[in-house]
Amino acid sequence: MFRKKLWVMAAFSAALSGAVAAQPVPQLTLHDGLTVPQLGCGVWELDGREAYASVSAAIKLGYRLIDTAQYYQNEAETYQAVLDSGIPRSEFFITSKLNPRYSSEQEIRKALDRSLQNMGGTIDLMLIHWPFGADELAWRIMEEYVRAGKFKAIGLSNYHPDALKRMLKIATIKPQVNQIEFHPYNSKLDELAQNQDLGVTVEAWSPLGAGRQKVMADPVIESIARAHGKSTAQVILRWDIQHGVITIPRSRNPRHLQENIEVGDFELSAQEMQDIDALNKNAALWDI
């Protein structure tokens, strides 16, 4: 296992040799004034060693928004990559998510405390990973953690508008973010508008369709990419950014990590945005 970890790190280092940090990442201001990078690095489906290698490589390229979750079982390794970077923790914005498997107050507190222990005692943004029976109880506990300074902000993930409105009714601290599946084949522009009207920032998980939707081979997106001299992935991430969406692509490939962050030097026209909007098929990867 140790040899495999060394091999993974060596592969990332070799691929990154000579790499130059990309353009500055645009920033978004959440409704409470907290500033967050609009493009980050996700670690879904990566085991601990892969998460450590991917985040280490991403940090060298300029990523400062890092997204993990209890469910991914790689919080500690993700945070270790941040520590080992030598860059002050204050320069990062780190998100994790509560696993909705817990139903009692004691279980929820233990789970949140484990995440805090895994990630140095403070978390910038803690989300509820998806709706569950005790999510209102969990929200009230998470509000306590904000007041205690353990979380800077809290939010939701995979909450459809009705579920979001339900949580807003009981919240004394408003959700900052709702992380949902958002890509050109499942764009949910109506949900995006509803979230934004409610003052909740949308964050896109699997913005490139997790490589399973063939969205990056779409002829419309390919044509736009050729016009700008960019990849289809870069066009999709730029589409996210221009929609005011935070986006967190995940990659095991350091070349893709570098490509994904290089989206600050071009802009899609209004017509190109509309053309990508029109690709929606309501084709969700998962029915959450």
Looking at residue 287, what is its pLDDT?
Answer: 75
Q: Say if 63 falls within a structural domain.
A: yes
Looking at residue 8, what is its pLDDT?
Answer: 45
CA torsion through residues 59, 63, 64, 69, sign: negative
* Tokens, residue 115: 């995440």
32: three-class secondary structure by DSSP: coil
Q: Which residues contact 159 (CB under 8 A, 6 or more apart)?
A: 128, 130, 131, 167, 178, 180
71 is catalytic: no
Domain at 184, CATH number:
3.20.20.100
Question: In DSSP terms, which residues pair with 203 in a beta bridge?
Answer: 179, 246
Q: Say if 47 falls within a structural domain.
A: yes
Q: Say if 219 falls within a structural domain.
A: no
Looking at residue 15, what is its pLDDT?
Answer: 47
Q: Say if 71 falls within a structural domain.
A: yes
Q: Say if 59 falls within a structural domain.
A: yes
Domains in the chain, number: 1
Looking at residue 59, what is its pLDDT?
Answer: 97
* Tokens, residue 50: 């892969």
Contact in structure between 29 and 250 (CB atoms under 8 Å): no
Q: Say if 224 falls within a structural domain.
A: no
pTM: 0.91
What's the maximum distance between 2 C-alpha atoms anywhere in the chain? 55
| Catalytically annotated residue among 52, 63, 71, 72 | 72
224: three-class secondary structure by DSSP: helix
In Å, how far are 80, 135, 155, 207 from 171, measured between CA atoms?
33, 11, 11, 28
pLDDT in tens, the chain (288 residues): 433 444 344 445 544 554 555 578 999 999 999 999 999 999 999 999 999 999 999 999 999 999 999 999 999 999 999 999 999 999 999 999 999 999 999 999 999 999 999 999 999 999 999 999 999 999 999 999 999 999 999 999 999 999 999 999 999 999 999 999 999 999 989 999 999 999 999 999 999 986 667 899 999 999 999 999 999 999 999 999 999 999 999 888 999 999 999 999 999 999 999 999 999 999 888 776
Q: Which domain holds residue 155?
A: 26-210+244-252
Q: Say if 238 falls within a structural domain.
A: no
35: three-class secondary structure by DSSP: strand
Q: Say if 18 falls within a structural domain.
A: no
* Tokens, residue 125: 């943004």
Q: Which residues contact 71 (CB under 8 A, 6 or more apart)?
A: 97, 99, 129
